[in-house]
Structure 1
Amino acid sequence: MDDAVLNQLSNEMKLSLLNTLAEDTCDTFAIRASTQRGVFLGSYLNSANRERLRVVVKILGGKIVNQYEEQVTHIITTTDENNYCRRTLKYILGLSHGCWILSAAFLRNCIKEKRYVNEEDFEVSCCQVVGGKLKPPYSIPRYSRENYNKKTNLFSRFTFKVDKRITVPPPSYLEIMIQNQGGMLYTDQNNRTELKGNYYFVSDDLPRQRHCRVVPPRWIIDCICYQKIRPLSKYFH
């Protein structure tokens, strides 16, 4: 998009907002107000969709960030013909946090309608890794978001200690994913009587550990991406 097109689009969207605010129903206005306070993070977007995101948020309200943070409410990503997206770190973090995870078509329709459109119409089905194996009949991000809002999270009965030597993903992000999904983190200050029922050590090295089971980082990620506890037997050879 060149500057002239962007400026014209900006003016048209501003005018449309002024003309349509008075026509909003209470429900529609509530959806728009919520989105206007949104914090948006792009994942695997091409330059055209990054520019669309910038224009939409600039005109309609909200904030764009470049890295995941706790305040993120919307992940915008590229999808294939099956409505599957790439399994990026941003996607996994957003999934663990109950974010809206939307296809880039959301941006195109916001521009077309000159307003924030209903997010539910643009939710991603799942990531390509899961889609290739499972072909879920429902949106996994929607399922995760609804469970997150109900506080019925995957790891609510688990305690984890994360090996700081892990390189991918960074240990700090693994800890965020675990806590987002209701898990408890073990530290040396924990009283063992405070630990939740299942105690796991997350590590790339899989020696036997006393008092706990060792699981690879991929098990954490797969549990989140499938939104179910995966059989541990699949991760040991």
Structure 2
Amino acid sequence: MTKLSVNINKVATLRNARGGDVPNLVQVAKDVQKFGAQGITIHPRPDERHIRYSDVFDLKPVVTTEFNIEGNPIPKFIELVLKAKPEQVTLVPDAEDAITSNAGWNTKKHKDFLQEVISEFKRNNIRTSIFVDPDPEMVKAALATGTDRIELYTEDYAKEYEKGNTAAIEPYALCAEIANELGLGINAGHDLSLKNIEFFKNNIPGLLEVSIGHALISEALYEGFEKVIQEYLKLLKS
């Protein structure tokens, strides 16, 4: 079964809008795990506009599934991850002023940098995943970085699927086949939703984990966390 990791960044965004502690991030993390989520994902950014660095240490004791911390490996982020020691770190090349992640790594151009960062995380027994576009050459070059997994950046798939273009899955399926041949684990994320997750999952061989935040939180506004998470789990089992 493909695991579901819930990205709770948007919960922190809502909390920060009023400057208090409602909704409570720790309680939400406890609840979504109770409802069946198999992981919690957060993506702290340097300006802390949603997840605060302090949130990482508040969440660490209550995440009993898999703790996945995403981010651009600037020194401050690396230090944070090494202190928190999550089960997984996902490296994302987003600019400090990016609204959201919008591209994967050029694993050829940044090979040496990624090798250095990943080796440090692996020395601390932290599984690594790197964000990549559905480009076979980037997937092949990812192997040399020493990463354990890749995370396929799925925005293009989501946009095209919404238009009825199911052929948009093809580059992702090809990259998954290559990753499987190379022994790289496969994660995926960005704009996956209840509308498009089943088709994606059914066409990506060896998909280990999906990280879903914005869509899941939005869907939960109407249906509630428990119902939405159960719907995702059902689709990921199919």
Task: Give the TM-score of the pair, scaled to structure 2.
Answer: 0.28
Higher RCO (Cα < 8 Å, 6 or more apart): 2
Task: Give the TM-score of the pair, scaled to structure 1.
Answer: 0.28
